[in-house]
Amino acid sequence: MATSSPPDKPMTKPVDTQWLDRDMSLLAFNARVLHWAQKPDAPLLERLRYLTIVSSNLDEFFEVRAALYTSLAKPKADLSLIDAQAQASLSLVAHNLVDTQYAIYNDVLLPALAKEGIRVVSHSERTLAQQRWVKALFEREVRPLLLPVGLDPAHPFPQVANKSLNFIVRLSGHDAFGRENEIAIVKVPRSLPRFIRIPESLSGKRTLFVSISSVIRAHLKDLFPGRTVGDFSQFRVTRHSDLSVDEEDVKNLRTALRQGLVHRNYGQAVRLEVSAGCADFLVDLLLRQFELPASALYRVHGPVNLVRLGQLIDLVDQPKWLFPRYEASFPHQLPANMPIFERLKAGDVLIHQPYESFDGVLAFLREAVNDPAVLAIKQTIYRTGSDSVLMELLRLAVQRGKEVTVVVELKARFDEEANINWAEKLEYIGAQVVYGVVGLKTHAKMLLVSRREGRSICRYAHLSTGNYNPRTARLYTDLSYLTRNPKLTQDIEAVFGLLANQSRIPRLNKLVLAPFALQRSLIDLVDATAKAAAAGQASRIILKMNTLTDDKLMEALVRASQAGVAVDLIIRGACMLPAQRQGFTDNIRVRSIIGRFLEHSRVFYFQTGTQETLYLSSADWMSRNMLRRVELAWPVEDPALRQRVVDECLTTYLHDTVDAWLMHPDGHYTLAGAARSRSSGKSKPAVGAQGKLMAKYSAKA
């Protein structure tokens, strides 16, 4: 990669206090996602799905990011490490976001669903016939699975699993032994469906459902014969769930992680959700039990777990209220009548997912598995899912006598169990399984095939900005790259060697590898554009990624901006670099695309004078990706492919006025379409990047 000295022009302002707050930026991203739930032109069930996506994102935010903010509740917390004002501000924004969610659910989506004849019927709204049916359902399928626990010295507060549904009940009267133990806990098994459809014979022409929480609520008194049920509430506890093991101190990382998975559901509590009307007495009891401050309490007007509304979407299953089915085309650069190995002899292949099908990647691996000339297959696995065609192909390759090496990242957050299971299955049948480098996550996505051709061994490779997961490949935008380039495939072989034997850092021809060189190389590229701008030459930076939070990389972008470089950032999620702040980032524009698909590709474009440089990568510009992970970036040197990436992943997105949000200097975002309409005084034709690419690549096109 290009190198240069930093430009002479100094920054006009110190940067240490200029960055935006990372967690605030994450919550702002979820507010943008939540906007989809309010769009009247979006299909009704998809609007409900976006509501569940935000809830799922918030769950992960609390599980991973919120432990610091709840540590104030711990008597031995080091308060010097905690910014109380930042904690209060973050808590306020999180509470407002949750309140907005439930307002949309109650005031917008439920009425819209009811208008279409879809309702979740509460106990008070059920007819006598429906109540009898619910009673029979409770006795037959629910009650046998419930075991209420009355609290006393012999029955302490039961362990409550992360994100599980529970009831807390206050009782009056005496128990069978004459005691006045007034608090009981009812744990709702996760095996119970959260929504059950009422039979058509009892619902007429409407589509009616009951929630499992309302079924249990209506029959709480039946669980406590001889007692009077007073105050009660649903509740749900979110716990810190980021697995942590001391890799230097364990003999077998796989065994240590599997043991850690057992305890993940019972980590430190970080959030408590209760029904809006929960009595203060019960709230205080729960907060004390889970050692949480009042700021960690969320009173919600509806189900305490909106994520499970996804079951409702599946049960309704009406295509007219869903996005029109998109059928991706098979990659255009892969002719159906030509073996992929032969095609790659003519040049590299680019696959733009999900507009083009992930089946092209599967076809490449399937061809390698079935080809007798293929001797070895090496692949990294980060997130592949529990049911994976790709992993089954690797098993078949082992059975056919090929040398299969799999680098499995066991610490892929919330995919640890699936990855451990695949590692054990592959190892059992004879694959070589390694777990990367101690202390570093292997986030690079690469697949290498070694094939005998005459007297030579030729290498073919696949690199990707995304995961080897066929399911998410239909939902995430990513770029796959197939190549036979000798220098590039030699680099990939060297990286696999590093991951397996951890010897010396390899000298690479084309690839740039983190944690060794990626950050420094990117800084050099940014500084080179600044030097060109200072010399009066053409200069431009366009970057597309998920997250931008690395201090050194942001400082480099500020230097380039102040030297006169036009910088466009397409950042889906958290971005700590403020846009167009006077005297600081005047030439930096930031936009976020929130559409039907999850933007996931990482593309880095630099113009320095007459030279254009473009890299694809598995890495976001975060310190963890640069310094604590094994990541790859690779150049796209073919002019036609490079221009295709620029056109489809950068230029098209910079002209989006449908799904794009623009950042303002204070860090807040507004819709690009609204801003353009106001500035022009009249409506202009809407251009959506994702819609344009779907139209271009659809199998129906």
Spell out the SS3 assignment of 237-264. Answer: EEECCCCCCCHHHCCCHHHHHHHHHHHH
Residue 65 pLDDT more than 90? no
For the stretch 100-146, pLDDT in tens is: 999 999 999 999 999 999 999 998 899 999 999 999 999 999 999 99
Any residues with CB less than 8 A from the CB of 264 and at least 6 apart, and which?
A: 162, 239, 241, 243
Q: Are residues 595 and 649 in the same domain?
A: yes
Can you tell me the distance from the alpha carbon of 520 to that of 341, in angstroms, rounded to the nearest whole number? 35
**Both tokens of residue 49?**
């799905």
Residue 349: inside a domain = yes
Place of tokens 């200069």: 539
Model pLDDT, residue 79: 44
Partners of 269 in beta bridges = 239
The upper half-sphere exposure of residue 685, i.e. CA atoms within 13 Å in the direction of its Cβ, equals 3
Q: Are residues 541 and 487 in the same domain?
A: no
Residue 675 pLDDT more than 60? no
Q: Residue 652: which CATH number? A: 3.30.870.10
Residue 136: inside a domain = yes
Mean per-residue pLDDT for 329-333?
Answer: 95
The 3-class secondary structure across 592-647, one letter per residue, is EECCCCEECCEEEEEEECCEEEEEEECCCECHHHHHCEEEEEEECCCHHHHHHHHH
Q: Are residues 445 and 548 in the same domain?
A: no
- Domain end among 461, 487, 509: 509
Q: Are residues 521 and 499 in the same domain?
A: no
Model pLDDT, residue 70: 53
605 or 499: which leads in pLDDT:
605
The upper half-sphere exposure of residue 425, i.e. CA atoms within 13 Å in the direction of its Cβ, equals 16
Q: Mean pLDDT of all residues in the chain? A: 87
Residue 327: inside a domain = no
Q: Are residues 564 and 630 in the same domain?
A: yes
Reference 473, options 378, 385, 410; nearest CA is: 385
For the chain, what percent of residues have pLDDT higher than 70? Answer: 86
Place of tokens 């698909």: 597
For the chain, what percent of residues have pLDDT higher than 90? Answer: 69
Residue 37: inside a domain = no
Residue 480: inside a domain = yes
Identify whether the C-beta of residue 182 lies closer than 8 Å to the C-beta of residue 171.
Answer: yes
Residue 658 pLDDT more than 70? yes
Q: How confident is the model at residue 324 (pLDDT cuts 50, 70, 90)?
A: very high
Model pLDDT, residue 72: 42
Catalytic: which of 443, 462, 600, 655?
443
Residue 572: inside a domain = yes
Q: What share of the chain is helix, strand, coil (3-state, %, to 5)?
A: 40, 25, 35
436 or 42: which leads in pLDDT:
42
Model pLDDT, residue 541: 98
CA distances from 191 to 142, 143, 184, 214, 424 (A): 10, 13, 21, 16, 27
313 or 75: which leads in pLDDT:
313
Model pLDDT, residue 234: 95
Identify whether the C-beta of residue 589 lies closer than 8 Å to the C-beta of residue 567.
Answer: yes
Mean per-residue pLDDT for 155-166?
Answer: 89
For the stretch 297-309, pLDDT in tens is: 999 999 999 999 9
Question: In degrees, to the nearest 5, what angle opens at C-alpha 202 toward C-alphas 196 and 208?
Answer: 40
Q: How confident is the model at residue 692 (pLDDT cuts 50, 70, 90)?
A: very high
Residue 267 pLDDT more than 90? no
Residue 412 pLDDT more than 80? no
For the stretch 368-403, pLDDT in tens is: 999 999 999 999 887 776 667 888 898 899 999 999
Give the three-class secondary structure for 567.
strand
Model pLDDT, residue 246: 46
3 or 126: which leads in pLDDT:
126
- Domain end among 477, 509, 541: 509
Model pLDDT, residue 105: 96
**pTM reported for the whole predicted model:** 0.90
Model pLDDT, residue 253: 52
Q: Are residues 352 and 261 in the same domain?
A: no
Q: Are residues 565 and 659 in the same domain?
A: yes
For the stretch 222-244, pLDDT in tens is: 999 888 899 999 999 998 876 55
Any residues with CB less than 8 A from the CB of 662 and at least 6 apart, and which?
A: 579, 589, 590, 591, 669, 670, 671, 672, 675
- Domain end among 289, 321, 353: 321
Can you tell me the distance from the alpha carbon of 34 to that of 50, in angstroms, rounded to the nearest whole number? 6
Q: Are residues 457 and 518 in the same domain?
A: no
Model pLDDT, residue 418: 66
For the stretch 5-32, pLDDT in tens is: 444 444 444 555 689 999 999 999 999 9
Q: Are residues 66 and 213 in the same domain?
A: yes
Residue 476: inside a domain = yes
User: How many separate domains does the chain show?
Assistant: 3
Residue 565 pLDDT more than 80? yes
323 or 264: which leads in pLDDT:
323
367: amino acid identity, one letter:
E
Q: Are residues 538 and 672 in the same domain?
A: yes
Model pLDDT, residue 3: 42
Residue 516 pLDDT more than 70? yes
Q: How confident is the model at residue 177 (pLDDT cuts 50, 70, 90)?
A: low
Mean per-residue pLDDT for 607-629?
Answer: 95
Q: Are residues 406 and 550 in the same domain?
A: no
Q: Are residues 496 and 538 in the same domain?
A: no
- What is the span of the domain harbouring residue 348? 340-509
Residue 604 pLDDT more than 90? yes
504 or 113: which leads in pLDDT:
113
Model pLDDT, residue 10: 44
Residue 438 pLDDT more than 80? no
Can you tell me the distance from the alpha carbon of 209 to that of 13, in angstroms, rounded to the nearest whole number? 58
Which region among 6-20, 32-46, 412-426, 618-632 has the lowest average model confidence (pLDDT)? 6-20
Residue 683 pLDDT more than 60? no
Residue 603: inside a domain = yes
443 catalytic residue (yes or no) = yes
Q: Which residues of 57-77 are buried (b: 16+ CB within 10 A; e: fewer)?
A: bbbebbbebbbbbbbbbeeee
Mean per-residue pLDDT for 629-648?
Answer: 96
